[in-house]
């Protein structure tokens, strides 16, 4: 797989200073953890999942979570499980017959309800479970965390391959202030003990919000909800600090359709006019109609806070989110120069753009993360921006 592989060679070279590199589910965890991009969640009962994958109906689809948990009604569990098993069987058969290359298979995860259900699905699926890249562990906590990992070790030994874990932090012991630090500290130790299996840590802001009867609207970001913002800050502090350094993904953006606005739109006209000329206003307007300005604003805040990856629930979110993860030329030059000068001869030097000072020791960790992101998503040519990657056929 490769991000933005739908571009022509000529178009790709005009946009990228450094093009994205190919990867698959066997790529090193260090890089693969950055590769989830906009992860599309879909209920296991959704029809024609295999067709959507094979037909590449959703441009930019790289990672999928097939959900057996909150998106499934309690009366639909049996149906959802069988649907997941059928999907795994169909994909496995296509791979075995050579009709589908494993390198073209998206990163697919199953979101289960419990370790027990996970083991039951594995027993029924058998070798077809190898289609997955891993499992999403919902409601992950100090109470169930080890049971999830024990189940995963058992499944991996059965398959003789590594499926990864993506725990979701979304329980009351994490959001409630009086138990937060103790709970997160315990979970960090649990993840450290099983680090080779942890691909990504996800934040369940919807479940957090439900504990307070809160739901943000399309005019504000999750960072405007103070009780959620405080918890996200603690998660970032404990799981992305030097020495822990897990890749943590941003929470879901729920909106995808139009409605009456209260606040002003959150993206300027000028970037769109610079890319699309006189049609830039039309492109921007159609993005506003889908509330993509709120999504873009939130992804920018995710990135500013060190979060990479986003849970999405609509295909229209895929490319805008992924385009925002492409490293800009200035960031890349700073990062590569910091790393290349990390030989003890310099402590600080003027940036390539001559607009800031780069200090090697304080900025080295940041630079390494930028280089990982650049390998997966590429680097823009100078003066190119995320607007150059938007699917114009949807907005013109």
pLDDT in tens, 221-238: 999 999 999 999 999 999
* Alpha-carbon distances, residue 23 vs 30, 279, 309 (angstroms): 12, 35, 16
Q: Name the token pair of 165.
A: 């874990």
Per-residue confidence at 261, pLDDT binned at 50, 70, 90?
very low
- In this structure, the answer to whether residues 395 and 320 fall within a common structural domain is no
On whether the CB atoms of residues 31 and 375 are closer than 8 A, the answer is yes
For residue 199, give the CATH number of its domain: 3.20.20.60
Residues 334 and 251 in one domain: no
CA-CA distance, 268 to 64, in Å (whole number)?
Answer: 31
Same domain, 342 and 234: no
Residue 373 lies in domain = 327-396
| CA–CA distances in Å: residue 372 to residues 86, 336, 341, 367 | 35, 11, 18, 9
| 186 in Cβ contact with 234 (< 8 Å) | no
Q: Are 393 and 306 in the same domain?
A: no
Say if residue 103 is in the same domain as residue 199: yes
Domain count, the chain: 2
264 pLDDT exceeds 80?
no
Residues 6+ apart with CB under 8 A from 275: 283, 385, 387, 388, 390
What does the pLDDT read at residue 125?
A: 97
* Residues 308 and 366 grouped into a single domain: no
385, 320 contact by CB (below 8 A): no
Taking all residues of the chain, what is their mean pLDDT, rounded to a whole number? Answer: 91
Question: Band of the pLDDT at 56, cuts 50, 70, 90?
Answer: confident
Alpha carbon distance 162, 130 (integer Å): 9
How much is the average pLDDT of 114-135? 97
Percentage of the chain surpassing pLDDT 70? Answer: 92
User: Does position 288 have pLDDT exceeding 60, yes or no?
Assistant: no
The separation between CA 138 and the C-alpha centre of its own chain, rounded to angstroms, equals: 16
Whether 297 and 375 share a structural domain: no
- Which residue's structure tokens are 């769109």? 272
CA distance from start to end of the chain: 28
**Confidence bin at 188 (pLDDT 50/70/90):** very high
Tell me the whole-structure pTM to 2 decimals. 0.90
The reply to whether 1 falls in a domain is: no
pLDDT confidence of residue 287? 60
Last residue of a domain, one of 325, 341, 370: 325
Domain termination residue (choose one: 303, 325, 347) = 325
| Measured CA angle at 135 (ends 324, 128), to 5 deg | 115
**CB distance 334 to 352 below 8 Å:** yes
The residue with greater pLDDT, 126 or 256, is 126
- Taking the C-alpha atoms of residue 196 and residue 28, their distance in angstroms, rounded to an integer, is 10
* pLDDT of 291 higher than 90: no
For residue 45, what pLDDT is reported? 94
Are 228 and 90 in the same domain? yes
């Amino acid at each position: 797989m490769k991000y933005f592989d739908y571009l022509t060679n000529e178009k790709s070279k005009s946009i990228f200073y450094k093009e994205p590199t190919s990867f698959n589910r066997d790529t090193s965890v260090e890089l693969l953890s950055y590769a989830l991009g906009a992860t599309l969640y879909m209920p296991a009962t959704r029809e024609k999942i295999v067709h959507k994958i094979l037909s590449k109906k959703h441009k930019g689809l790289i990672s999928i979570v097939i959900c057996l948990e909150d998106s499934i009604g309690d009366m639909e569990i049996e149906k959802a499980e069988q649907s997941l098993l059928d999907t795994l069987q169909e994909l496995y058969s296509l791979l075995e017959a050579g009709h589908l290359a494993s390198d073209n298979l998206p990163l697919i995860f199953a979101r289960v309800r419990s370790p027990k259900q996970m083991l039951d699905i594995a027993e029924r699926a058998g070798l077809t479970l190898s289609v997955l890249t891993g499992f999403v562990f919902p409601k992950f906590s100090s109470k169930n965390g080890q049971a999830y990992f024990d189940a995963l070790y058992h499944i991996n030994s059965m398959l003789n391959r590594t499926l990864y874990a993506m725990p979701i932090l979304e329980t009351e012991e994490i959001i409630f202030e009086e138990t937060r630090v103790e709970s997160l500290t315990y979970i960090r130790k649990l993840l450290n003990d099983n680090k080779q299996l942890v691909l990504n840590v996800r934040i369940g802001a919807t479940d957090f919000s439900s504990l307070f009867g809160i739901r943000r609207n399309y005019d504000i970001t999750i960072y405007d909800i103070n009780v959620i913002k405080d918890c996200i800050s603690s998660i970032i502090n404990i799981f992305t600090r030097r020495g822990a350094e897990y890749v943590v993904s941003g929470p879901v953006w729920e909106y995808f359709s139009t409605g009456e606005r209260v606040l002003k739109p959150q993206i300027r006209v000028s970037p769109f006019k610079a890319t699309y000329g006189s049609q830039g206003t039309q492109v921007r307007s159609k993005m506003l109609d889908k509330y993509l300005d709120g999504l873009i604003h939130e992804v920018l805040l995710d990135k500013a806070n060190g979060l990479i990856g986003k849970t999405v629930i609509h295909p229209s979110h895929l490319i805008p989110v992924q385009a925002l993860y492409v490293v800009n030329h200035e960031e890349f030059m700073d990062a590569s120069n910091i790393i290349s000068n990390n030989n003890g001869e310099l402590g600080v030097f003027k940036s390539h753009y001559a607009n800031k000072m780069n200090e090697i020791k304080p900025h080295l960790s940041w630079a390494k993360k930028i280089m990982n992101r650049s390998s997966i998503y590429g680097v823009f040519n100078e003066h190119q921006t995320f607007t150059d990657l938007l699917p114009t056929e949807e907005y013109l």
